[in-house]
Amino acid sequence: MCSVSSIKGVGIGFPEQKSFHSKGNYSLFGFNFLRFRRCERHAEKKFSSTVVRAAIAKPEIDFSDPYWKNKFKEDFENRFDLPHLRDVFDIKPMPTTFSLHNRGSQIVSGADLPEDRKNGYVNDDDRALLKVIKYSSPTSAGAECIDADCSWVEQWVHRAGPRKQIYFEPEKVNAGIVTCGGLCPGLNDVIRQIVFTLELYGVKKIIGIPFGYRGFFDQGLPEIPLSRNVVQNINLAGGSLLGVSRGGANVSEIVDSIQARGIDMLFILGGNGTHAGANAIHNECHKRKMKVSVVCVPKTIDNDILLMDKTFGFDTSVEEAQRAINSAYIEAHSAYHGIGLVKLMGRSSGFIAMHASLSSGQIDVCLIPEVPFKLDGPYGVLQHLEHLIETKGSAVVCVAEGAGQDMLEKSNATDASGNVVLGDIGVHIQQRIKRHFKEVGVPADVKYIDPTYMIRACRPNASDAILCTVLGQNAVHGAFAGYSGITVGICNTHYVYLPIPEVIASPRTVDPNSRMWHRCLTSTGQPDFM
């Protein structure tokens, strides 16, 4: 039995938390050194929409212990151990039907492969290194240290890919796919690859659940049968073939619906909220002794999922944002004392704004949620804009939607998923700029562009399309390998499986001490606005 009382859980609040806790003058991984088992780790999760409470205890490491590194590694291995159907069921694997040797319609099972084609499978013990930089000191840029000396400790995570042995008979599999949250370029590409790969294993029954978690219990929403024919061209359009939605996640009702439909492999595409729901679904299925594999594919243009290089759709959004930035730049440069202002998405993370600013090379001021700023005063944004108008004759500002929320009136309103409804920082800054220049008697021509929905409704660019392909295929391999409660990701260019709680303990945010933020500041030339 899992005992909750044995764990001291620390609430990890959305969205303010950083991915790493700060302790003393060096940053310390938020790792749990209590060695509780996986079921315990999940037990204390309370799923409210805006707060995910992960049972992550504050690390108490005895650095005087000569074996602390070994203990750390052992603990890390335990935490990143992947939940498996074997943990709950007495099941035996069978040789895979996923062929590395495809001859047209003839499927060659893994067992019958010729010798020279048998080394294409990933072993359960294969690992990828999660952290690849050895920081020599806690003061190194972006340093993520465990101890005061920033000692090097290997952290390995599980490699994704097809296994030689599988835990489902493909002919009997009943697979479901659902897309939740907001839109993101590449959703259709992932759906398409999941369907293709399932069919390659030999799966005959694949359904799409319409409009996110809502589709599980809204009787008026029929499920969508999926096959290679149905999904063949869906990657040519943005959006999701299945539709998306926020809110309405009642885990017990969803699992009732999974049970009633006989789904035994569920692929869930979504962001941190969706992952929290997916983990709850995974736990509930296991509690009810349902042999269901729940596998997520992280979807968020905000790029706010922990541990991975990036999420699909992010690159595309950054690229799409260029068009808005370029328009703002042209407007600003063509006007007398022109000021262009672009608001980009990013609820609690400024990745899109930072990357779009950097790549465009046209931004003078980039404002993100992670870095506080003032509009007024000698070091404020407005004063700097005055300086830019005086010296350059124009200026372009890029602001992430979650930035500067402290200067807006709080409404306490939430959306259907429980996400805080943000004040419109773009409109606020636009008004403040206009007012300021009027007050100081300097003419300024302010043009405000809000392309937020345009940057996520498009189809993915080539590199995102490839990422979607690999993630979608790996999601299916993970389910056949018998894992559940996992998500797929790319870490240091390698594809991996990660336990869901580890990637949503807090939203991933821009580290103001990172090289990337410093590069952004170097590029914009902006001062500190505090």
Ligand X SMILES: O=P(O)(O)OC[C@H]1O[C@](O)(COP(=O)(O)O)[C@@H](O)[C@@H]1O
Ligand Y SMILES: Nc1ncnc2c1ncn2[C@@H]1O[C@H](COP(=O)(O)OP(=O)(O)O)[C@@H](O)[C@H]1O
Q: In the complex, which residues of this chain contact ligand X (CB under 6 A)?
A: 181-182, 271, 273, 300-302, 345-347, 401, 415, 456
Nearest-CA neighbor of 523 among 411, 431, 398, 391? 398
Q: How far is the CB of 410 from ligand X (least distance, A)?
A: 16
Restricted to residues 228-257, the positions that interact with ligand Y (CB under 6 A) are: 246-249
Asked if 399 is part of the footprint of ligand Y (rule: CB under 6 A), the reply reads no
302 is catalytic: yes
Identity of the residue, 249 or 397, whose beta carbon is nearer to ligand Y in the bound complex = 249
Nearest-CA neighbor of 263 among 199, 341, 209? 209
Strands 265-270 and 293-298: parallel
Asked if 272 is part of the footprint of ligand Y (rule: CB under 6 A), the reply reads yes
Query: What is the DSSP secondary-structure string of 226-295?
Result: --HHHHTTGGGSSS-TT----S---HHHHHHHHHHHT--EEEEEE-HHHHHHHHHHHHHHHHTT---EEE
**SS3 assignment, position 343:** strand
Is the backbone of residue 49 left (phi > 0), alpha (psi -120 to 50) or beta? Answer: alpha
Rounded to 5 degrees, what angle do the CA atoms 264, 269, 270 make?
Answer: 130
Q: Which does 372 bind (CB under 5 to 8 A by kind): ligand Y, ligand X, Mg ion, none?
A: none
- Please pick, from the candidates 161, 277, 478, 499, the single residue that binds ligand Y as defined by CB under 6 A: 277
C-alpha 345/C-alpha 56 separation (Å) is 29
Q: How far is the CB of 180 from ligand X (least distance, A)?
A: 8
Restricted to residues 294-333, the positions that interact with ligand Y (CB under 6 A) are: 300
**34-71: burial string, b at 16+ Cβ within 10 Å, e else:** bebebbbbbbbbebebeebbbbbbebebeeeeeebbee
Q: How far is the CB of 45 from ligand Y (least distance, A)?
A: 8
Identity of the residue, 52 or 446, whose beta carbon is nearer to ligand Y in the bound complex = 52
Nearest-CA neighbor of 460 among 334, 312, 247? 312
Whether 268 has a binding-site annotation, put simply, is no
Q: Which does 301 bind (CB under 5 to 8 A by kind): Mg ion, ligand X, ligand Y, none?
A: ligand X
- Please pick, from the candidates 317, 419, 452, 526, the single residue that binds ligand Y as defined by CB under 6 A: 419
Whether 407 has a binding-site annotation, put simply, is no
- For 9, residues 6+ apart whose C-beta sits below 8 A from its C-beta are 44, 53, 54, 55, 56, 57
Whether 345 has a binding-site annotation, put simply, is yes
Identity of the residue, 345 or 488, whose beta carbon is nearer to ligand X in the bound complex = 345
Which residue's CB atom is positioned nearest to Mg ion? 271
Identity of the residue, 155 or 349, whose beta carbon is nearer to ligand Y in the bound complex = 349
Restricted to residues 245-274, the positions that interact with Mg ion (CB under 5 A) are: 271-273
- The site for Mg ion, by CB under 5 A, has a size of 3
Whether 12 has a binding-site annotation, put simply, is no
Identity of the residue, 272 or 293, whose beta carbon is nearer to Mg ion in the bound complex = 272
Terminal Cα-to-Cα distance of the chain (whole angstroms): 52
Residues 214, 248 contacting (CB under 8 angstroms): yes
Residues 509, 142 contacting (CB under 8 angstroms): no
Tokens of 57: 């205890």
Q: Which does 123 bind (CB under 5 to 8 A by kind): ligand X, ligand Y, Mg ion, none?
A: none
Whether 456 has a binding-site annotation, put simply, is yes
Asked if 80 is part of the footprint of ligand Y (rule: CB under 6 A), the reply reads no
- Please pick, from the candidates 23, 33, 37, 47, the single residue that binds ligand Y as defined by CB under 6 A: 47
- The contact mask relative to ligand Y for 150-189 (x = CB under 6 A, - = no) is ------------------------------xxx-------
**Window of 90-98, 329-337, 414-422, 483-491 that interacts with ligand Y by CB under 6 A:** 414-422
Which phi and psi angles does 144 have, rounded to 5°?
-120, 100
Whether 370 has a binding-site annotation, put simply, is no
- The site for ligand Y, by CB under 6 A, has a size of 25
Q: How far is the CB of 300 from Mg ion (least distance, A)?
A: 6
Q: How far is the CB of 14 from ligand Y (least distance, A)?
A: 9
Q: Which does 345 bind (CB under 5 to 8 A by kind): ligand X, Mg ion, ligand Y, none?
A: ligand X
Q: How far is the CB of 421 from ligand X (least distance, A)?
A: 8
Can you list the alpha helix ranges (DSSP code H) found in 2-59?
38-43
Beta-bridge partners for 446: 339
Which phi and psi angles does 293 have, rounded to 5°?
-100, 120
Residues 40, 4 contacting (CB under 8 angstroms): yes
Q: Which does 249 bind (CB under 5 to 8 A by kind): ligand Y, Mg ion, ligand X, none?
A: ligand Y
Which phi and psi angles does 324 have, rounded to 5°?
-70, -45
Catalytic residue among 75, 189, 264, 302: 302
**Window of 227-235, 256-264, 265-273, 454-462 that interacts with ligand Y by CB under 6 A:** 265-273
Q: What is the DSSP letter of 366?
A: E
Q: How far is the CB of 419 from ligand Y (least distance, A)?
A: 5
Q: Which residues are catalytic?
A: 302
Residues that bind ligand Y in the complex, under the rule CB under 6 A: 47-49, 52, 180-182, 212-213, 246-249, 270-274, 276-277, 280, 300, 417-419
Binding site as annotated, residues for Mg(2+): 272
